[in-house]
Chains A and B, each alone.
Chain A
Amino acid sequence: MKVSLQDLLYCIPLYQLTFLTSLPKNQVYYDNIATSIEDKRFESPTLLVIQSSEECLKLNQKERAHQLIQDHHLMGIIIGIHTTIPILDEALSLFQQCRVPIIQVENASALTIFQQKNNPHYSFCQISMELNGFMNKGFMNIAAGLSLALETPFLYLNEHDELLWQVGPEAELQKALCFLKLYKKFRNNALQARSVNDEAHSFEAYPINIAGQISLTLIASVHLVDWQKKMIDKLIGLTALFFQTEEMFREQQERFKEHFLYDLLYHKFESKKVMVTQGKVWGWNLEKPHHLFVINVHPSNDVMENMEWLDEMIVHIETEKQELNENIIIFPFQDQIVMLLEDSLPRSQSERKGAALEIAGQIEKGLTSKWPDCQFWIGIGKWYQDSINLNKSYQEAKIALQFGQVWFEKKRIFHMSDLGLLYLLTHVHREILYDYSKEYLSSLIESDEENGTEYVKTLKAFIQHQGIITDVSEALFVHPNTLRNRLKKIENLTGVDLQKPEEFMNLMTAVKIHFSMSL
């Protein structure tokens, strides 16, 4: 039994084939193989297999081309050259018009298949290699080539039958798009859909099942013969495998990224080199020092309804980042947004802090204007020359957020160095702090608990508003005279003169300790 050219092509990995002209619909059979273009015509059905550029260049010669297209024994041309083929478009269109199939086979070892007399079969042991080649060449290139070979347009649809990608001759594509409109309309009614196929258009939908979870659709011509359908089936199988592998790869990448982020923020890397190398995988330059921001969001109920709210905020900052013209790395981490701002300019500590606060201010303003119902707080850790200390900076930013939200109630941005005394307190034994705070405030706390006098709260507001009576009374919603009266009683109970800076400072420290310990 003779083997057709189409059956042989089916056994060669798709990525190794480049179709320069379309394949005839009818099966093509041949008896001999010729390796060079001679002056005479072929005596029996022959497949011309060219393996040198010199022979290939002969196809550009008008006389030779005319001789070949007039030779009814020439069944097809196979070009076994790995490099770009030097055939002119003019010559190719001539061969196309005369329906002479020309196929380039990238791998010269695959040419042996054309010598086979027995019925070859597709070997599944080459599937891994085929998939790898498919991925490297790109499924779009392969689908475009096959579309040319089979003379059918291809329309790729997603799960919701929305057009993802299309390829093919323009006129055929227009027809396919008309079919798509009707297909969407009648897809739930098989009978009607069939009539749409039969009467108005000539296209068919092929499902692309990816791991039994997602089903894409490929639309191609309905007038395809068996060997063409087999080719499409192969394309669909490889496309499904490609998407499945891509998805697995993407998931794996995401998992790797999560691990890296965790290591970056909680774990010290063994060396800076390891950290920088891993960072480069994600396109981050961690060689230079960075400020670290932690953005805490209190979302409104409306925003919470949208599951993607955190991602949307990140996208918003990403778009704003282009206007800021700064190198910013941003990612979600444990329901907060973490942002790294590159800062390697030689400048003083205060200038550096000022620059970080300015950027944080712009980001906070942008977020608040976009989501006015949400509340945003930004904590900034210390800047370290060595980016390996980003884990320390992360903890500092979180501490700044925690203490800042309690102490600086109206502020939205807290820098670690703004905590001042509060930062210092974290270095001292809790017992010592507790005793110190008790010594000054015990009488006030007792009075607050027994009589509801709110002396400690009053003192906190007094410190926060730098002792300006009108501001403090406004903040506490009390009359200035009531406030003065309270302050007098506080002085009596504690024995501290609030007008004496030395004594006031001690009391202020005790109040700060009290509130920091209440966290």
Chain B
Amino acid sequence: MTAHIVFSIDLNRCINCKTCEMACNDHYGLMGIHRRNVFTYESESDEKQRLHVSMSCNHCLNPVCVYICPENNFQKRGDGIVIHEPSRCKGCKLCINACPFHAPKFNPKTNRVDKCNFCVERIDQGLRPICVENCTTGALSIMMLDTNEIESNSLKSAELPIAGYTKPSINILKKQQGYTFFREG
């Protein structure tokens, strides 16, 4: 069974600082769009608790963008990374509407679609993606995950209202309840 490289998001550590968003924009010189966004949800079990999740392309196991693109511009590499070939993109925006995670964005400067490519050029050099490198709290990391595990990955248990039918290749570390320690005696 093959293993794919995935983003691992620790809900306990994300503090909504958006450094990941900025680092990505800075690295790729993006203006007006973000490849990565930090979303905030209210926990379903505890309304007072707020969950911050840094999301970009989830490099799904069954990427909907691959079959929806009329130009067949999306490719999934052997290591699981979904990359977009912008040179043939005609900006039809079908992928933007179809992706349940809003990963592809329309870049008004190029009139083409743009999306997170897992910093493949850095990965190929043995480096970590720029967002992971700059995450100040260590909430974002990368790991190798077996495709069987991705297939059976239940994101609902992490209380995140995100779609599962494309089998997003991410690992979510669930928010833990805080512990209270009482002094003895």
B62–A398 touching, CB < 8 Å? yes
Q: Give A residues with C-beta under 8 Å from B.
A: 259, 262-263, 266-268, 334-335, 381, 388-389, 391-393, 395-396, 398-399, 402-403, 426-430, 516-517, 519
B165–A388 touching, CB < 8 Å? no
Closest to B101 in A: A430
Closest to B72 in A: A268
Residues in B neighbouring A381, C-beta threshold 8 A = 67
Q: Can you list 22 residue pairs at the A/B interface with Cβ under 8 Å?
A: A262-B2, A267-B76, A268-B72, A334-B147, A335-B1, A335-B148, A381-B67, A391-B67, A392-B66, A395-B62, A395-B63, A396-B67, A402-B62, A426-B98, A427-B68, A428-B97, A429-B97, A430-B100, A430-B163, A517-B163, A519-B164, A519-B165
The prevalent SS among residues of A at the interface is: helix
With beta carbons under 8 angstroms apart, the residue of B64, B68, B75, B164 that contacts A266 is B75
B90 at interface, CB cutoff 8 A: no
Residues in A neighbouring B164, C-beta threshold 8 A = 519
B72–A402 touching, CB < 8 Å? no
Closest to B96 in A: A429
Smallest Cβ distance from A121 to chain B, in angstroms?
A: 48
A399–B163 touching, CB < 8 Å? no
Residues in A neighbouring B163, C-beta threshold 8 A = 430, 517, 519
A402–B66 touching, CB < 8 Å? no
Residues in B neighbouring A259, C-beta threshold 8 A = 78
Closest to B85 in A: A268
Residues in A neighbouring B17, C-beta threshold 8 A = none
Residues in A neighbouring B78, C-beta threshold 8 A = 259, 262-263, 266-267
Q: Assuming A267-B75, A392-B66, A398-B62, what are 18 further A-B pairs, CB within 8 angstroms? A: A262-B2, A262-B78, A266-B66, A266-B78, A267-B76, A267-B78, A268-B72, A268-B75, A335-B1, A389-B72, A391-B75, A399-B165, A402-B62, A426-B68, A427-B98, A429-B97, A517-B163, A519-B163
Residues in B neighbouring A517, C-beta threshold 8 A = 163
Closest to B77 in A: A267
Residues in B neighbouring A267, C-beta threshold 8 A = 75-78
B64–A391 touching, CB < 8 Å? no
User: Could you tell me which residues of chain B, from 138 to 174, have a CB within 8 Å of some CB in chain A?
Assistant: 147-148, 163-165
With beta carbons under 8 angstroms apart, the residue of A391, A403, A427 that contacts B72 is A391
Most buried by B among A396, A398, A426: A426
Most buried by A among B147, B163, B165: B165
CA distance A395 to B68 in the complex (A): 9
CA distance A216 to B46 in the complex (A): 67
B94 at interface, CB cutoff 8 A: yes
Smallest Cβ distance from B169 to chain A, in angstroms?
A: 12
Most buried by B among A259, A381, A430, A516: A430
CA distance A516 to B68 in the complex (A): 17
Smallest Cβ distance from A234 to chain B, in angstroms?
A: 43
Residues of B in contact (CB 8 Å), total 23
User: Could you tell me which residues of chain B, from 94 to 114, have a CB within 8 Å of some CB in chain A?
Assistant: 94, 97-98, 100
Report, nearest first, the 4 A-B pairs whose CB atoms are least far apart: A266-B76, A519-B165, A395-B67, A392-B67
User: Could you tell me which residues of chain B, from 59 to 100, have a CB within 8 Å of some CB in chain A?
Assistant: 62-64, 66-68, 72-73, 75-78, 94, 97-98, 100
CA distance A395 to B166 in the complex (A): 10
A426–B75 touching, CB < 8 Å? no
Closest to B147 in A: A334
Closest to B82 in A: A266
Smallest Cβ distance from A53 to chain B, in angstroms?
A: 57
CA distance A402 to B63 in the complex (A): 13
Tell me whether A391 and B66 are in contact in the complex, defined as CB-CB below 8 angstroms, given that A259-B78, A428-B97 are known contacts.
Answer: yes
Residues in A neighbouring B148, C-beta threshold 8 A = 335
CA distance A500 to B72 in the complex (A): 41
Residues in B neighbouring A391, C-beta threshold 8 A = 66-67, 72, 75-76
Residues in B neighbouring A516, C-beta threshold 8 A = 165
User: Could you tell me which residues of chain B, from 29 to 75, have a CB within 8 Å of some CB in chain A?
Assistant: 62-64, 66-68, 72-73, 75
Closest to A427 in B: B98
Residues in A neighbouring B62, C-beta threshold 8 A = 395, 398-399, 402
Residues in A neighbouring B76, C-beta threshold 8 A = 266-267, 391
Most buried by B among A389, A391, A396: A391
Closest to A392 in B: B67
B72–A392 touching, CB < 8 Å? yes
Residues in B neighbouring A335, C-beta threshold 8 A = 1, 148
Closest to B148 in A: A335
Residues in A neighbouring B75, C-beta threshold 8 A = 266-268, 391
CA distance A381 to B66 in the complex (A): 13
B165–A403 touching, CB < 8 Å? yes
CA distance A519 to B94 in the complex (A): 21
A427–B94 touching, CB < 8 Å? yes
Residues in A neighbouring B77, C-beta threshold 8 A = 266-267
Residues in A neighbouring B98, C-beta threshold 8 A = 426-428
User: Could you tell me which residues of chain B, from 1 to 26, have a CB within 8 Å of some CB in chain A?
Assistant: 1-2
Residues in B neighbouring A403, C-beta threshold 8 A = 165
Closest to A395 in B: B67
CA distance A391 to B62 in the complex (A): 11
Residues in A neighbouring B68, C-beta threshold 8 A = 426-427
CA distance A396 to B67 in the complex (A): 7
Most buried by A among B63, B66, B73, B164: B66
